[in-house]
């Protein structure tokens, strides 16, 4: 990176790259997989889409199914450490 990039900028650059990639991922996912987005002409001409199965598949993705089996805590080990009486 040479003369124009200071080392203090690297963490900011990493954070901005991560956030930008997450935004691009979410936008791409919505454009290609969201059942409410209509790209081709035949679906756009329909007033009401009958795509309940596609909507269920979009809403119940793998990450959501995985998180259902996990406890609803951010840091369960730290919570147990501070809440258990010993």
42-55 pLDDT tens trace:
766 776 667 778 77
C-alpha dist (Å) from residue 60 to 67, 71, 85: 11, 18, 38
pLDDT at 68 over 70: yes
More confident residue, 80 or 12: 12
Closest CA to 59 of 68, 71, 69, 72: 68
* Contacts of range 11-16, beta carbons closer than 8 Å, 24 or more positions apart: none
User: What value does the mean pLDDT of the chain take?
Assistant: 84
Asked if residue 52 lies in contact with residue 28, where contact means CB atoms within 8 angstroms, the answer is: no
Q: What is the pTM of this model?
A: 0.54
Is residue 1 scored above 60 in pLDDT? no
Q: Are 42 and 49 in contact (CB under 8 A)?
A: no
Distance CA 60, CA 3 (A): 49
């Amino acid at each position: 990176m040479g003369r124009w990039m200071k080392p203090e900028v690297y963490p900011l650059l990493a954070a901005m790259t991560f956030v930008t990639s997450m935004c691009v991922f979410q936008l791409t996912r919505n454009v290609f997989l969201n059942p409410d987005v209509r790209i081709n002409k035949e679906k756009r001409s329909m007033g009401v889409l009958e795509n309940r199965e596609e909507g269920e598949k979009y809403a119940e993705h793998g990450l959501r199914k995985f998180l259902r089996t996990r406890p609803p805590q951010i840091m369960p080990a730290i919570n147990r450490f501070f809440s258990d009486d010993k």
